[in-house]
Amino acid sequence: MDALLTKRWLPMVLLVASLSACSGGNDDLEAYIDEVKARPGGRIEPLPEITPYEVFVYKADAEGFRSPFVPDAPQAAAGAAAGSTRPDPERSREFLEQFSLDTLRMVGTLELGGTNYGLVQTADGLVHRVVPGNYMGQNDGRIVAVNESEIELIEIISDGIGGYIEREAAVGLAD
């Protein structure tokens, strides 16, 4: 019976002893808390005043203001002038036109029979030869020049108001 009593109460005594050991050692923490509480309270700055939002009521007959729903006259004139620049829907697409220009890499040049070719690598690792007049990129990019450091293109992109504009682009020689 003595062994049974020891097995039952010994873990309880050890647990109480170990918990009492954890209660000490907080004197420095309590001193710091007392010090912080003894400090004088500070003044809290007031929140900055919020300026109210000024509402603008648009009136169609307001003088000196254009309608926000109608394009500016210079932009509309530019769009009409650029109306002659359009992608050719009848032109058959070339292989490199399915790739975005940022996925194509120029890896070198090649001269054969007096013609300077640009070497373009696609993301799948295949290398293609291009010359001025070929197309590449998804914006009807026509190659206008091939030199040792880059392939220069003219792309036809939307101007955002129903027309198209030409934009210069280039694919540089990869490092």
Alpha helices in 27-173 (DSSP H): 27-38, 73-81
* Whole-prediction pTM: 0.53
pLDDT tens digit at each of 175 positions of the chain: 566 656 777 777 777 766 665 666 788 898 999 998 898 888 888 989 999 888 877 666 667 777 777 766 655 555 555 457 888 889 999 999 999 999 999 999 999 998 999 999 999 999 999 999 999 999 999 999 999 999 999 999 988 888 899 999 999 998 7
The tens digit of pLDDT for each residue in 68-92 reads 777 666 555 555 554 578 888 899 9
Of 123, 128, 135, nearest to 108 by C-alpha is: 128
Measured CA to CA in angstroms, residue 70 lies from 42, 62, 67, 86, 131 at distances of 57, 15, 6, 23, 43
Cα–Cα distance for residue pair 28/34, rounded to 1 Å? 10
